[in-house]
Chains A and B, each alone.
Chain A
Amino acid sequence: MEIPYTVQNRPDTGIYNAKLGIWLFLASEVMLFGGLFSAYILLRVGAEPGMWPHGWLNVTLGTVNTLLLALSAITTLLAWAACKVRDFTKFKIFHACTILLALIFLGIKSYEYHDKLIHYEIALANGKFADGHLVEKSADFDLAKKTGTVTLHGHIVEDRKELMDLRSPEAQAAKHDEITIAATDIKKMENYGPKHNTFTAIYFTLTGLHALHILGGTVVIFYFWAFGGAMWKTDPERFTNRIEVSGLFWHFVDLVWIFLFPVLYLT
């Protein structure tokens, strides 16, 4: 039994099966990310005045990542074009670039995550707030037993609201030093992980899900890159279709980032 139109276009619909399939899948992906983006909007408009964070993310790193993905979109297109003109060597080169760019993207993303996870906000016993990156915890530091000290590189503020808008002149002017705090002075200590507030929650969820998509796309592209030679020799047309379909997915993942970047980093 043969399924028709796996490689050739069906004349009246003008498309082959997998291409239609991926477009349908992408439609559902639009709804998935659409749901998450609407969650973002509702959380943001529902936030208490002055409590939605601004400028918490590193715009430079975000821009670099945006450029990496834009570049990978180009190499993906070129890889497909190389298949179209039946130049397997060029295909190998271009998709090697795609995979490399994707891996650098994920590396930068992990660095950003790490930076958030070692960033602490400490509610002090005197009602003030210490905020900064962890330098070290003393060997006997234990919050439950109230022993030891913790050292942050950051500053101390009177009101939590001062931590929200890091783009403000006051926040820009704040001096950051090493502060050592005794466990006895700590009321609550929490890093900038997903549970910190709704911004970090939606940030980790959206970018995490996006990173999973990047990872999935990279695995698929790597599979075609590394093990596609056999099919290339027997059925180059079908192989080219596979590159096109995986490329469509990759472009979609890039596009999601084009929305994520301004929404999370720039506003």
Chain B
Amino acid sequence: MQATVQQFPPFREGTAHLAHDDHGHHEHHEPNFWQKYIFSTDHKVIGIQYGFMSLCFMLFGFFLMMLMRWQIAHPGVPVPVLGPLLEKICGPMAAGGAISPDLYNSFGAMHGTIMVFLGVVPLAFAAFGNYVVPLMIGAPDMTFPRINMASFHAFFLGGVVMLVSFFIPGGAAQAGWTSYSPLASTIPTNGQAFWLVGMVLLITSSLLGAVNFIATIIQLRAPGMTWMRMPFFVWAQFVTAFILLLAFPPLEAAGVLQLMDNVAHTSFFLPTGLAVGGQLADRSGGGSPLLWQHLFWFLGHPEVYVLILPAMGIVAEVIANNTRKPLWGYKSLVYSALFVGFLSFIVWAHHMYLTGMGQKIATFFQTTTMIISVPSVIILTCMFLSLWGGSIRINTPMLFALGFLPMFGIGGLTGLPLGLAAADLYLHDTYYVIAHFHYVVAPGTIFALFAGVYFWFPKITGRKMNEFWGRVHFWCSFVFMNLVFMPMFAQGIKGMLRRMSDGAVNYSAARVPNAIDTLPGSVMELNTWILWAAIALGVAQIPFIINLFWSISHGEKVENDNPWDATTLDWQTPTPPPHGNFAHEPIVVRGPYEYSAPGHATDFTPQDEAEGPSAPRTPTAHH
């Protein structure tokens, strides 16, 4: 608090409060706009580039979802307001402004792709990882700054290719975000080829990023930053990077093979005797549709942990900081994260119980799936226990972090029935899966990402985001998020199939009154409720968007470089950190969460504060 400023003698005096001062003493020329914001090799700029792009993509993916929810609630009714625009862009697929089944399929495929590969992963891993990891370990930058830049550019190109595919004849990919063959090779649109090229670019981007992250964490830790002194966030990113490094290439291989199927007319994933539209396809056959699913889910499942681990890392940092006490079970957290990372490679086929791959294989994957829930529960339990006995500060980041815990808990626990083949056979193709997965990723991961945005915003800009509107954003999002996804569990258990472009009207009691096991009106009605909840959820994001941009120039200025009184190195830098990050080389002398250490003048002890409980750090100690 008042002591913090004194902890940053001469190096930072004078610079600490000048948020917009140019700190680059190493730069002898003023970089122009292109050098500074587009072709920057500074990890912080790249992190912000990733952050901005991925937030835009998430908003876009959200709009696709709103259109789909409209179609589900009001099948065949023209979309209000956006209808004419939709018809202009998508042509006959949106005749009269209504969403055709083809268009619905392409929105579904692209919503998933955009949210996962262009939204959440780049934000959780690339944006936060890029900005925060080098700061947390006391590094001047990433090990390979230019590769880092290339990584962002590949990501950008991949995003462009994905977006362009909406405008080609026949529209974007329609085979779901999982792109199962032979469907993906038989739909008469080039959207799938665009999807594959886009994916190869995105995979390249994440590969370059992953190599960079691992090398940075291994090579550029500051003196004294031993492995067990690294903040949990860094560990989470480290494991995530390994998952990306090793799980994505098989999907790249699969992508190359499917591209060959679509462009060179090979039959890697096309079985013998494949008929398309009642005609025998002109293909050699002999391929295996299951092969695609294996290769896809070999990435697909580890990908879930790519989505969740960085989020857990953010939540851990926010919780430790706001409970003002050390994280409970730091070592358990670290080992659990490592174990999750390892085990995530051998659970993939639990997405494939319905394929009839065989009971023995299913049993193996059931077992590993049950085992992987153990470390996940350990992580969540450690975070809950960290709250025990803390003098908890409630602020927006903390609210989102606290919201994450039960929401991720619901997402995780509802996954257990899906991990068991017998229950999964019934639930797999229903809305239950949609609800389960979205509880993990939307109120789970995305809440953690919001926590991260509110938490690190002051370091990036030197100003805090507005607290009142932050709380409005949290409470509205919290309520409406649950109103969107909770009813889907009920719909799924009642047997409503996912992927139906008409909201399952054809299976409703109203449409087919005499059939057995039709969907009653109460279940169908939920479609309308979910639509309104989704619209309200969209409205609830407006305060966030305005708050984010408004606070850059009008937010409350931070009083010092460490406004949250945090211990980790990212807060022991000038604000915003200059090119090269630290005013001096930090020397780490203690673990990451030294909060409320007995005998210390303040309730936090930064990792690089010189030893001795009351000795203030002197400038000479670091020369």
Interface residues of A (CB under 8 A from B): 1-5, 10, 13, 15, 17-18, 20-21, 24-25, 27-29, 31-36, 38-39, 42-43, 46-48, 51, 193-198, 201-202, 204-205, 209
Q: Which chain B residues border A29 with CB–CB below 8 Å?
A: 249
Q: Which chain A residues border B141 with CB–CB below 8 Å?
A: 1, 3
Instruction: Write the chain A residue with the least CB distance to B251.
Output: A35
Contact, CB under 8 Å: B253 / A36: yes
Compute how far the CA of A13 lies from the CA of B528 in the bound complex, rounded to whole angstroms.
59
Using A35-B250, A51-B286, A205-B256 as known contacts, say yes or no to A28 and B215 having CB atoms under 8 A apart: no
> Out of A21, A32, A202, which one reaches B144, CB within 8 Å?
A21
Instruction: Write the chain A residue with the least CB distance to B222.
Output: A4
Instruction: Write the chain A residue with the least CB distance to B287.
Output: A198
Give 16 CB contacts A-B under 8 Å. A3-B220, A13-B218, A21-B143, A24-B210, A24-B215, A27-B246, A28-B245, A34-B250, A35-B253, A38-B295, A43-B287, A43-B291, A193-B264, A194-B264, A198-B286, A205-B260
Contact, CB under 8 Å: B272 / A48: yes
Compute how far the CA of A21 lies from the CA of B291 in the bound complex, rounded to whole angstroms.
31
Closest 3 A/B residue pairs (Cβ): A35-B253, A35-B250, A1-B580
Compute how far the CA of A3 lies from the CA of B143 in the bound complex, rounded to whole angstroms.
7
Q: Which of B245, B265, B287 has the most CB of A within 10 A?
A: B287
Number of interface residues of B (CB under 8 A): 47
Compute how far the CA of A4 lies from the CA of B214 in the bound complex, rounded to whole angstroms.
15
Q: How far is the CB of B279 from chain A (nearest CB, A)?
A: 15
Does B536 reach chain A (CB closer than 8 Å)? no
Q: Which chain B residues border A198 with CB–CB below 8 Å?
A: 266-268, 284, 286-287
Contact, CB under 8 Å: A20 / B215: yes
Using A1-B140, A20-B219 as known contacts, say yes or no to A28 and B267 having CB atoms under 8 A apart: no
Q: Which chain B residues border A197 with CB–CB below 8 Å?
A: 267, 284, 286
Known: A31-B249, A39-B254. 20 other contacts (CB 8 A): A2-B140, A3-B140, A4-B219, A20-B143, A24-B211, A24-B245, A27-B245, A31-B245, A31-B248, A33-B253, A35-B251, A35-B253, A42-B288, A43-B288, A193-B264, A196-B284, A198-B284, A201-B268, A205-B266, A209-B256
Does B252 reach chain A (CB closer than 8 Å)? yes
Q: How far is the CB of B135 from chain A (nearest CB, A)?
A: 14
Q: Which chain B residues border A209 with CB–CB below 8 Å?
A: 256
Contact, CB under 8 Å: B144 / A48: no
Does B433 reach chain A (CB closer than 8 Å)? no
Q: How far is the CB of B243 from chain A (nearest CB, A)?
A: 11
Compute how far the CA of A202 lies from the CA of B256 in the bound complex, rounded to whole angstroms.
11
Compute how far the CA of A119 lies from the CA of B266 in the bound complex, rounded to whole angstroms.
17
Q: Which chain A residues border B257 with CB–CB below 8 Å?
A: 36, 39, 205
Q: Which chain B residues border A3 with CB–CB below 8 Å?
A: 140-141, 143, 145, 220
Instruction: Write the chain A residue with the least CB distance to B206.
Output: A28
Contact, CB under 8 Å: B253 / A201: no
Q: How far is the CB of A19 from chain B (nearest CB, A)?
A: 10
Contact, CB under 8 Å: A195 / B283: yes
Compute how far the CA of A17 lies from the CA of B143 in the bound complex, rounded to whole angstroms.
7
> Out of A1, A28, A38, A46, which one reaches B207, CB within 8 Å?
A28
Using A17-B144, A27-B246, A205-B256 as known contacts, say yes or no to A46 and B218 having CB atoms under 8 A apart: no
Contact residues of B between 255 and 283, Cβ < 8 Å to A: 256-257, 260, 264-268, 272, 283
Q: Which of A17, A196, A204 has the most CB of B within 10 A?
A: A17
Compute how far the CA of A15 lies from the CA of B215 in the bound complex, rounded to whole angstroms.
10
Compute how far the CA of A17 lies from the CA of B219 in the bound complex, rounded to whole angstroms.
7
Q: Which chain B residues border A196 with CB–CB below 8 Å?
A: 284
Q: Which chain A residues border B210 with CB–CB below 8 Å?
A: 24, 28
Contact residues of B between 592 and 623, Cβ < 8 Å to A: none
Contact, CB under 8 Å: B295 / A35: yes
Q: How far is the CB of B177 from chain A (nearest CB, A)?
A: 19
Contact, CB under 8 Å: B215 / A21: yes
Q: Which chain A residues border B268 with CB–CB below 8 Å?
A: 39, 43, 198, 201-202, 205
Contact residues of B between 229 and 252, Cβ < 8 Å to A: 245-252
Q: Which chain A residues border B360 with CB–CB below 8 Å?
A: none
Compute how far the CA of A33 lies from the CA of B495 in the bound complex, rounded to whole angstroms.
41
Q: How far is the CB of B559 from chain A (nearest CB, A)?
A: 28
Q: Which chain A residues border B145 with CB–CB below 8 Å?
A: 3
Q: Which chain A residues border B287 with CB–CB below 8 Å?
A: 43, 198
Q: Which chain A residues border B28 with CB–CB below 8 Å?
A: none
Instruction: Write the chain A residue with the least CB distance to B264.
Output: A194
Q: Which chain A residues border B249 with CB–CB below 8 Å?
A: 28-29, 31-32, 34-35
Contact, CB under 8 Å: A35 / B580: no
Q: Which chain A residues border B286 with CB–CB below 8 Å?
A: 43, 46-48, 51, 197-198
Contact, CB under 8 Å: B245 / A35: no
Does B50 reach chain A (CB closer than 8 Å)? no
B137-177 near A? 1/0 per residue, CB < 8 Å: 00011011101000000000000000000000000000000
Q: Which chain B residues border A1 with CB–CB below 8 Å?
A: 26, 140-141, 579-580
Contact, CB under 8 Å: B254 / A195: no
Does B298 reach chain A (CB closer than 8 Å)? yes
Q: Which of B215, B245, B268, B580 has the most CB of A within 10 A?
A: B215
Q: How far is the CB of B224 from chain A (nearest CB, A)?
A: 11
Compute how far the CA of A13 lies from the CA of B216 in the bound complex, rounded to whole angstroms.
12
Instruction: Write the chain A residue with the least CB distance to B213.
Output: A24
Contact, CB under 8 Å: B266 / A35: no
Q: Which chain B residues border A15 with CB–CB below 8 Å?
A: 219
Compute how far the CA of A195 lies from the CA of B282 in the bound complex, rounded to whole angstroms.
10
Q: How far is the CB of B117 from chain A (nearest CB, A)?
A: 17
Contact, CB under 8 Å: B579 / A201: no
Contact, CB under 8 Å: B252 / A25: no
Using A10-B219, A28-B245, A198-B284 as known contacts, say yes or no to A21 and B256 having CB atoms under 8 A apart: no
Compute how far the CA of A43 lies from the CA of B252 in the bound complex, rounded to whole angstroms.
18
Contact, CB under 8 Å: B245 / A194: no
Contact, CB under 8 Å: A42 / B291: yes
Contact, CB under 8 Å: B246 / A13: no
Q: Which chain A residues border B580 with CB–CB below 8 Å?
A: 1
Q: Which of A3, A5, A20, A209 has the most CB of B within 10 A?
A: A3
Instruction: Write the chain B residue with the least CB distance to A17.
Output: B143
